[in-house]
Amino acid sequence: MGLDVKRARQEGRLAYVVARGGFKPESTFAVIAAYLAGANGVVYIHETFRDVVELPMLPLQLDEALAKFARGETDEYALAAKFGIDIHHLEGVGLLKKADGRALDDLITALLDIQRG
């Protein structure tokens, strides 16, 4: 989805994402990924009123500290300091993989890839 948004924008088209049913956490993640990819907005149908609701574009960008960590330009101690948390909590908040504290979570890596294009 994120790459489709990027491609549409590169081709000069407006890119809107339709947030359909599903679980709220997954939908939220998809909407954030769409905004990071440059979506112009998100629309959905309100489940009670059945009205189309448009969420305006949010100019989001992942913190550069995550990209530096992914490129191996900094370590987990600098990452923890950047976010103001203890190094052991980087896993707990989902930034680092639980099995390998030296790697970003796969979903964070995917968002970085979407943001980079």
CA dihedral (51, 59, 111, 21) in degrees, to 10, reads 0
| Structural domain spans, the chain | 2-56, 64-116
Question: How confident is the model at residue 2, as a pLDDT?
Answer: 60
How far apart, in whole angstroms, are the C-alpha atoms of residue 68 and residue 63?
9
Question: How confident is the model at residue 78, as a pLDDT?
Answer: 93
Q: pLDDT, tens digit, for every residue of 27-82?
A: 888 888 888 888 888 888 877 888 888 887 777 888 999 999 999 999 999 999 99
Q: Between the ranges 18-32, 59-73, 93-107, where is the mean pLDDT highest? A: 59-73
How far apart, in whole angstroms, are the C-alpha atoms of residue 78 and residue 16?
36
